[in-house]
Amino acid sequence: MRVLIIGCGYVGLPLGAELARRGHEVFGLRRSASALDELRAAGITPLAGDITQPGDFAWLPGNVDWVVNTVSSGKGGAAEYRAVYLEGTRHLIDWLAPQSLGKFIYTSSTSVYGQSDGSLVDESSATEPAGETSQVLVETERLLQGAARTRDFPAVILRVAGIYGPTRGHLFQQFLRGEARTAGDGSRLLNMIHLDDVVGSIIAALDHGRTGDVINVSDDEPVTQLEFFLWLSAKLGKPLPPSADEDAQRKRGLTNKRVSNARLKSAPGFTLKHPTFREGYTAEMSRLGLI
C-alpha cells in the first residue's frame, strides 16, 4: 500500500518504520525539514508541508491507499487546535474525498470524555468536555463522522489515552526529576497507553477498521495517581512525591474517568504488548538502566 502519515512525529515515525518494514511505501509529512535523516533511515520518504495551508496539498503524493493523521498542535491553545485539528482535517477531507482512499485513521484523544466522577466511559458515552481544546477534538470527530456518513469517507477514529514510552510520560519524567506532586489525595484516575500499542492499534485499524468506527486506545488498568506513584516509589526505591493543593488541580478542570478498552481488545489483529503501565514502565526503566 501507499501510505501517507500526516504529522510524522513521536507516534508517526515508529508507525511509518513498522509499515515500511512490512513492505508498504510510506511518506511522512511534517512542517519542518527536521528529522529528515531519521525518517529516511526508517524507510520513510520525508515530505514538508503544513495541513493548515490548503495550497500545500498540491505537491503531496496522490493515489495513496491509506492516510494516518497523527498531527499534533503540541501545547497550543484553542486557536492552534482549531487550525491544526479541525481545519487541517477539513482540508484533508476535501483533498482526499475525491480520491479512492482505502482508509483514514485519525488519532483523537480520550480527553473528549469530560466525565469527572470516576465513572467508566466507553465509545457510546457522552463527549461533552469542559475544556475548549478538547471541544475542538469533539468537533473534529464530528466532522469526520459526518464525512463518513455522507461521503463514505473511510474514517476510523482512535481515542488515544495518555501516551508514554521512550522520552515520554509526563508524571514519570517529573517523578525521576523529583518534581512530581500528588494532587490532593491522589484519587484522580490516569488512563495510559504505551507508544508500541498506539502503533499496533493504528496498524490494526488500517488492516481491519471499518468506516465510522470509533475505538478507545487505552490499556487494561486505569490507575489512581497515588497508586501509580506508590508503584514507582517501590520499584525505584524513591520517596513518594509530596501532596499539592487539590484546588489548583480542580481549577484546571481535570477529568476523572476510567476508560474502557473492551472494544479495542475485541478488535481483530490487535493484542496489547504492554497490558498495563506496570509492564510498560518496567520496560522503560530497564531501557534507562534504572532497574
List residues binding ligand NAP (CB under 6 A).
7-12, 29-32, 34, 50-52, 70-72, 74, 84, 88, 107, 109, 160, 162-163
What minimum distance in Å lies between the beta carbon of 164 and ligand NAP?
Answer: 8
- What contacts 68, CB < 8 A, 6 or more positions away? 3, 4, 5, 6, 12, 15, 104, 105, 107, 202, 206
Q: Which is nearer to ligand NAP, 69 or 182 (CB)?
A: 69
Using CB atoms, what's the residue nearest to ligand NAP?
9
Q: Which is nearer to ligand NAP, 246 or 276 (CB)?
A: 276
What minimum distance in Å lies between the beta carbon of 237 and ligand NAP?
Answer: 27
Q: Which is nearer to ligand NAP, 79 or 234 (CB)?
A: 79
What minimum distance in Å lies between the beta carbon of 52 and ligand NAP?
Answer: 5
Q: Which is nearer to ligand NAP, 162 or 222 (CB)?
A: 162
Q: Which is nearer to ligand NAP, 131 or 238 (CB)?
A: 131
What minimum distance in Å lies between the beta carbon of 239 and ligand NAP?
Answer: 26
What minimum distance in Å lies between the beta carbon of 223 and ligand NAP?
Answer: 16
